[in-house]
Amino acid sequence: MDVAAVLDELEALVAAQGERLCVVGALALAAWGRPRFTADVDVLTAVGCRDRLVAALESRGYETLHVSTGFSNHLHADPALGRVDVLYVDAATAAGVFAAASPRLELAGRRHLVPAPEHLVALKLHAIRNDPGRELRDLADVDLLMTLPELDVEAVRPYFEHAGRLREFEALRARHGR
């Protein structure tokens, strides 16, 4: 998969709607120095551009596999364009994520925005709540994020509390001496 080309195209499609895009998922973990395998590109943007983004991806040959209020995924027959998963958040959440995001991911000479580690933890906990089958993989990612010196441990406590996972928060905090 040509990740750089896919991200460039996604960013252009979203920018044409006056919105921004952040790279999430395994690519974001890699940008924070915690690489793991991935076979797709995961991005986050504001929900206001969902319908036009889905239509734009379809016009470029992507098949829409699923679309809902907060998520869509798309697959292209060309392996170089591969699979794209898009998370859609409300305007207030998008504003918070983008305010703390940084251009940490560099691919083919271009930098791409990545959420702060605190927001990545929130996304992972939200994903587990929506799909408990993701728990082992996403908790492993949360564990990696909790090791980052840049992560504000107290800032993520409310995310764990909201998800009903304060016990995991305390265990991770103790394990990593935070």
Angle at 48 between CA 112 and CA 124, to 5 degrees: 55
Which range has the worst mean pLDDT, 73-82, 97-106, 129-138? 129-138
Q: Do the strands 110-114 and 40-46 form a parallel or antiparallel pair, or are they unpaired?
A: unpaired
Among all chains, which residue has been given the structure tokens 């206001």?
A: 48
Q: What pTM was computed for the model?
A: 0.91
Which neighbouring-strand residues pair with 66?
73
Q: Mean pLDDT, the chain, as a whole number? A: 94
* CATH placement of domain 1-115: 3.30.460.40
pLDDT-based confidence at residue 153 (cuts at 50, 70, 90)? very high
d(CA 34, CA 87): 21
Over residues 56-74, mean pLDDT: 96
Percent of the chain whose pLDDT exceeds 90: 89
* pLDDT (tens digit per residue) in 102-130: 999 999 899 999 999 999 999 999 999 88
pLDDT at 39: 85
User: Amino acid identity of 77?
Assistant: A
Asked whether 144 and 111 are in contact (CB, 8 A), the reply is no
Map residue 152 onto helix, strand or coil: coil
* pLDDT (tens digit per residue) in 14-56: 999 999 999 999 999 999 988 888 889 999 999 999 999 999 9
pLDDT at 48: 94
